[in-house]
Structure 1
Amino acid sequence: MTPHSVILLGATGTIGRATLSELVAQGHKVTCLLRQNKTATLPDGVRSIGVDLNDPKAIAASIADCGADVVISCMASRSGRAKDAWAVDYQSHINILQAAKDAGIGQFILLSAICVQKPLLEFQRAKLAFEGVLMASGLRWSIVRPTAFFKSLSGQVKRVQAGKPFLLFGNGEMTACTPISDRDLARYIVGCIDAPDRENRILPIGGPGPALTPRAQGELLFEVAGKPPRFRHVPLRMMDAIIAVLVLLGRASPRLAEKAEFARIGRYYATESMLVWDKDAGRYDAKATPAFGEDSLRDHYQRMIQGEVEADLGEHAMF
């Protein structure tokens, strides 16, 4: 591949860090746009620029100074709050896209999320709104929509190691996903550069292997940990009751309204699969979900239990 000059956003998040490593390994020249006053340890030869994402003029000046020909964004809001989602997932990206167009940058690669297929939450609507603007921008674009990340399925590793049961919503068979590792996803994202078969396309992508339900994930984790399976089932009606109360109280309290939105996010992931959605059939389709990479969830669990990797439960793309 011909080396490119790449602007990377979200370089301090887990996927952003992996993408940066892959860009450097492939010989690309990288400039990371970082939030003002944020510091980061970057590989030798990587340039960083602090910028106010709310200042279109500052963004335009920074991007024009880079001499880049590709933008890759692994940036996303972290909190789940509606205000943050529209500020970062939408407006900040709008500012960056406009600056990229003005600077003559030809390609924009966006890390999105597969859950925007069924947008019931504000952060999903914000992501979709920017996707629409990007597709109409006139730039060559690729929108990468990964399934679940290994780290998002790692929150119960310490529970299992401590001898506690694995928590399941309902029967643990309502949803499924084909998780992909940070490293494999980074390879896929960087592979979108100058790839005609990935240009001007929405690209759902999962990892290798069969789709796993939450119960199957738990069974795998117990097997790797060398412990007998123990599960505790949490009724969905309990979550629904909590959401209903928070929605009611949220009419008088912005803080509780935010908690209601967080609870809705939790329920969404408890009841919706992270696979390609077949609108005609009205179901998720594991066979239609593309697979990429080599890393398995089993290997990830093994490395966690051996202490080789730490659980990182933050958002997939931090800025």
Structure 2
Amino acid sequence: MTLLIVGATGTLGRQVARRAIDEGYKVRCLVRSPKKATFLKEWGAELVKGDLCYPQSLEEALEGVTAVIDAATSRATDSLTIKQVDWDGKVSLIQAAKTAGVERFIFFSILDADKYPNVPLMEIKRCTELYLAESGLNYTILRLAGFMQGLIGQYGIPILENQPVWVTGASSPIAYMDTQDIAKFAIRALNVPEAQKQTFPVVGTRAWSAEEIINICERLSGKSARVTRMPIGLLRGVQGLLRFFQWGWNVADRLAFSEVLASGRALNAPMEEVYTTFDLDKQQTATVETYLQEYFSRIMKKLKELDYEKTKTKKKKEKKTPFKQSSKVNSQ
């Protein structure tokens, strides 16, 4: 089976690619910059240069492909908008996959996307789900909540560096999941008959509020967090202002997602039946506590090593040279 993985250089996509290669699949990755994706080639993947926003580049990428796993999404720093990548690009990919006779299509969506029609990314995910379901392709949709990897930049690093930790509104609890565990579900979906033309939540073992995450980080790091609460009204104002400038559209669309994070409504779902369907063991799923503990154990050990090296270097500099010692003797 030949897989085409789209978005393979991203946080989730690279884990999907790694898992697929480890399980013996022939993996092809659609990349915009082969130079930035050399690590995928080193792992054993075939790289094909292409872009979702250029439909003509998809035909070659899909030649001989059995299944597509779509992990691509726009970034706030991209010059292209969410609509261009997450809607126009995905529609082109789905159409091209159907034309190419692809047998399976795995798509990552967001949990509760249908509950936030005013949030661009959520509404686009909802519409993409519908479009995929009506395309005639044999699909599986996995609805995610949040990545554990994002907790490091949002909470871990700011606390270690004594920088502000930004918290929005009522802080919706989120069932974060390690992207390595999400990748297990994506690859397993390829061979589970019950997953065909179905939609599943794929979330962590429990939902965590921002305050709970901060408390864990404080305990593991031994440092206190500088929590700064951002009023949702202020974010809405900034979002509205940015829409006056074309360069700010993408950032404004991303800021709109703060409505989800500040709603107070948990991003979580029951997973018992999902684990049973996919024949995966919940006990092997990483928890937020174990993930953060592993991170802080590594980083605190590294900081101690750096502090030791710094102290050793300082002591060496403080040692007096023979010249200075002799000068001191002569002066006496």
Q: If the TM-score is normalised by the length of the shorter chain, which range does it land in?
A: 0.7 to 0.9
Tell me which residue corresponds to 2:101. 104
Structure 2 residue corresponding to 1:34, chosen from 27, 31, 34: 31
Q: Deviations over 1:260-290 (max 9, x none)?
A: 44433234323354524xxxxxxxx678996
Aligned Cα RMSD in Å?
3.0
Change (3 A) 1:212 1:29: same
TM-score when scaled to structure 2? 0.76
- The 3-state SS of whatever aligns with 2:101 is coil
Distance 1:5 1:104 in 2: 13
Q: Within 2, Cα distance between the matches of 1:79 and 1:32? A: 22
Q: Distance in 2 between matches of 1:33 and 1:234?
A: 40
Question: What is the aligned residue count?
Answer: 289
**Distance in 1, Cα, partners of 2:132 & 2:239:** 35
In the other structure, the counterpart of 1:243 is 236
Question: Which residue of the partner structure matches residue 156 of structure 1?
Answer: 155
Instruction: Name structure 2 gaps, 5 residues minimum.
Output: 276-281, 301-332
Separation in 1, partners of 2:49, 2:255 = 34
* Cα distance in structure 2, aligned partners of 1:117 and 1:18: 27
Q: How far does residue 205 in structure 1 lie from its aligned partner after superposition?
A: 1.4
Whether 1:169 and 2:160 are equivalent positions in the alignment is no
In structure 1, give the amino acid aligned to 2:255. Answer: A
1:12 and 1:213, CA in 2 relative to 1: closer, same or farther beyond 3 A? same
Q: How does 1:139-288 map to 2 (within 5 A)?
A: 139-154=137-152, 155-163=154-162, 166-170=165-169, 174-208=171-205, 210-227=206-223, 232=227, 234=229, 236=231, 239-244=232-237, 247=240, 249-250=241-242, 252-255=244-247, 259-273=251-265, 275-276=267-268
Q: Output one character per residue of 1:215-261: Cα deviation in whole Å (capped at 9) or x when no partner.
A: 1111111122234x55635252xx413523652x4575444565544
Deviations 1:124-147 (A, max 9, x none): 222222211110111211111111
Deviation at 1:84, TM superposition (A): 1.8
Amino acid at match of 2:124: A
| Match runs of 1:16-31 below 5 Å | 16-31=13-28
Q: Which runs of 5+ in 1 are unaligned?
A: 277-284, 310-319
Q: Distance in 2 between matches of 1:204 and 1:71?
A: 19
User: SS of 1:89's equivalent?
Assistant: helix
Task: Judge which range, 293-302 or 196-205, deviates more.
Answer: 293-302
**Rounded Cα–Cα distance in structure 2 between residues aligned with 1:169 and 1:55:** 37
Identity level (%)? 22
Of structures 1 and 2, the one with the larger relative CO (CA 8 A, separation 6+) is: 1
* Cα distance change on mapping 1:268 and 1:98 into 2, 3 Å: same
Could you tell me whether the CA contact under 8 Å between 2:201 and 2:271 is conserved in 1? no
Tell me which of 291, 294, 304 is aligned to 1:303. Answer: 294
Q: Give the corresponding residue for 1:45.
A: 44
User: Cα 1:235–1:108, aligned 2, differ >3 Å: closer, same or farther?
Assistant: closer
1:90–1:223 distance in 2 versus 1, CA, 3 Å: same
TM-superposed deviation, 1:151: 2.1
Name the structure with the higher helix share: 2
Q: What whole-Å deviation, never above 9, does each CA across 1:138-180 have from its counterpart, x for those lacking one?
A: 121111111111122221212322456754434x6x4211110
Structure 1 letter corresponding to 2:216:
L
Query: Is 1:166–1:231's contact at 8 Å kept on the other side of the alignment?
Result: yes
Provide, for residues 29-65 of structure 1, a one-character-per-residue CA deviation record: whole Å limited to 9, x for no partner.
111111256541224432111014333233123312x
**Contact 2:166–2:230 (8 Å) recurs in 1:** no
Supply the distance in 2 between the matched residues of 1:104 and 1:137 (Cα, whole angstroms).
12
Aligned-partner residue type, residue 217 of structure 1: I
In structure 1, what is the equivalent of residue 61 of structure 2? Answer: 62
Greater shift in the superposed pair: 187-196 or 78-87: 78-87
Larger radius of gyration between Structure 1 and Structure 2? 2
Q: Which residue of 2 aligns with 1:85?
A: 82
